[in-house]
Amino acid sequence: MSPPNVELDPTILASVAGQTVVITGAAGGIGAATAALFNQNGANVVIADLAFLKENAEKTIAGLAHPDKALFVPADILNWADMTALFKAAVARFGRVDVVIANAGIMETKPVLNMDAVDENGDLQESKEAFKVLDVNIKGTLNTIRLGIHTMRSNPNGGSIVLLASTSGYFGGTSVAGYITSKHGVVGLLRSCRVTATQYNVRLNAVAPFFTPTHITANYADAWKAAGLESNTPDDVARVVAQQALDTKANGTCVLTCGSIRRELENTRAALITQWMGEDVTTLMRDAGKLFAKLGGYPLPKSRE
């Protein structure tokens, strides 16, 4: 028996009118679809992406329902100065930021675990591309979270951040080591940053898309379709992102989405911990949580330097 599907509330989009939404990686794919959906419903959208994608971003803006309510800001999510400038530009143009969508991410183009990647001496070569994937998807997302909280902490009505995780952040047996590891890291950011975000009246949630036809999936999209497997469109994912961003009851949740299939992952995982690990582990973890709360958070170690 399947758990209940997450139902989408189309009326919730009315609440985004007049709000300002910052979306990273929004020059195409899921990010562009999300920008279009928010903008169609009256939101100001700030499209952030790499400078070389400026033309793509401008085409996206030209196709919006309200292009006058859109702004492109070139930004590399790994560059702190770029990201600081992004949020300042959003506030300067639209007055404040209400929603942040941490969408930008990449996947490796060569197998990280390729044991034939050796130099002329037969020594295995370092996988610099894998490190770039980890940097962009984890460090870049953390930069977005931190600046999002900082920018929205003074909003009278708080703010909302949605992370783009992936089903690869929960499963992942395809040997795409860099991407899968990085998306597990994004889920870790959801879990580790939620409490602090909440203290600043910022809700933090995530979406975990399964197959969606984008640049990342282009090499097997035809095979997936031929197999008759359930799939998303970028618009499908955008609607789930919007629900997570605007549903004031959602905090710390993550919704897996694949076409008509939508499942909440974080609360359902928590509900199964006793069944999974046993009553003793459940009690230990609960009591440990109470202790850390009493201590004002996890006591960090002193630097050895």
Catalytic residues: 179, 183
Name the residue among 31, 65, 30, 29 with its Cα closest to residue 46: 31
> What's the CA gap between 140 and 80, in Å, rounded?
9
| Measured CA distances, 52 to 49, 56, 57, 172, 243 (Å) | 8, 9, 10, 31, 31
Mention every residue, 6+ apart, whose C-beta is less than 8 A from residue 18: 42, 43, 44
| Measured CA distances, 264 to 4, 123, 168, 260 (Å) | 9, 45, 15, 13
If you compute the radius of gyration of the chain from its CA atoms, what whole number of angstroms results? 20
Which pair of structure tokens corresponds to residue 13? 């989009």
> What's the CA gap between 99 and 148, in Å, rounded?
8
> What's the CA gap between 47 and 27, in Å, rounded?
7
Decide: helix, strand or coil at residue 303: coil
> What's the CA gap between 240 and 165, in Å, rounded?
12
Which pair of structure tokens corresponds to residue 258? 């694949």
Alpha helix ranges (H) inside the chain: 29-40, 54-62, 80-94, 128-134, 140-152, 177-199, 221-226, 234-246, 266-271, 273-277, 279-294
